[in-house]
Structure 1
């Protein structure tokens, strides 16, 4: 099958997404023994308890759980000893990434669909380097493509290949399915085991009542990382005179010199941002919005630096 020549910022190809592995070190998404990520909470599932991996034995201390006493060592040394456990490091990470006509737009550095693909690739390579199982769901308005989480480079490459294929097939003429996001979230709830981390990359405008309820249900058994995507024109309409829009035979004209129109447009954008913020606060999950206005890795770095605890003077 012939693949169209890549159009930087408009389309992605597989080599571009594979190259994202060289940028993983620029962003501390996951903790290592030497460095703790500001997203450390994502590595400690509410459902895992004390974990499953035995770490070491030490002398019993006041406050230790008596159920963890190592009776063999205690009998041998005649001094109470307790077992220490650490959380299982490997976990399923499921990247839910949108590639719909809704994202096939951009007025700044790139299309939103390209931004979504780049972020998914970076997070995927970071997860693989962290020894996690990686999988995901590429969803659009017509098709969903699912890759089951596995701890293998091949699994990630399958996900990226599906992502590129969906990206290359995008067209503004594709009919919109308003509930595609909700359908993808329902599928994630069906297949994911408790304790998984779900990374959500979708258009900022796709959050509605149905999808919000699905995210709330999904958050009961999994950890979430929310990355809504936007373009500057989603939030601010320039005073550019009469603008004409067409979509599958429908036409719309807007006189952007009207101040009240631009104000109403701006308020709609602010309301969408506020809804994501309220949802993230309600669920207690990280919110890292991304925009086509700036380079993706730079934006992630800014978000993570903002979440680092400040040192007391």
Structure 2
């Protein structure tokens, strides 16, 4: 009988705790690189109450589009955690807010969180978070185009169209010839030389000085992934940063080198998706670090 009463007491206390606790997202669906806020709200905060926040990252289960099963290994980067207490209408509240960022498109299921409440420990789980790209609907329609009188210049074009055709053919042949010469010349260069030449051209453009920092980092990450793809016989161009790092680990790269590569890829993701602004010195430092990685990973070249 006492055992039954104990179980009933625990159930009642657990139900009472659930009524005083709320866990919710500011928005349960965000874009890649955007900040998501998870709030833990406790009503009637007792004296014996404690919560130890998680730092670094949440290791979550993920469910990608088209999949039916949850998979381990998802990460939600914790940018910050702050907590506060306040009183409203005579009721004391405790509020904890996580600011999180996800770099992969998926549905995230967070691990269980724990609270110490009146000498008892309780677990609870936050709602799922959806991370993806923005989808826009475009309305179909036909614009009316007014008919303008035919000018004399158009008559001349119709009469001597064959002259324009010859000129266009000559220009096309010239472009293709020059392109072929450039391809032949580039094929004579090693992978290391071609990559360093691409970095040099990217650096020379200085897109970050003309308000094109995002464009710069699109080219930056493409150069790094193309080099790694050719060097280790992988296809990384359509891979996420997490997938790229996983494949490089399977190739046996040492931890320090993988970490250096991950830092550069994460930096590019922050600029491309989170619209982070970086100062010119930091961008130039990233280019220098990229050159170092390419040089260190390339095999020794002995001139003939």
Which bin holds the TM-score, normalised by the shorter protein? under 0.3
Higher fraction of helix:
2
Question: TM-score normalized by structure 2?
Answer: 0.21
Q: Which is greater in Rg?
A: 2
| Greater length-normalized contact order (CA 8 Å, ≥ 6 residues apart) | 1
Question: TM-score normalized by structure 1?
Answer: 0.20
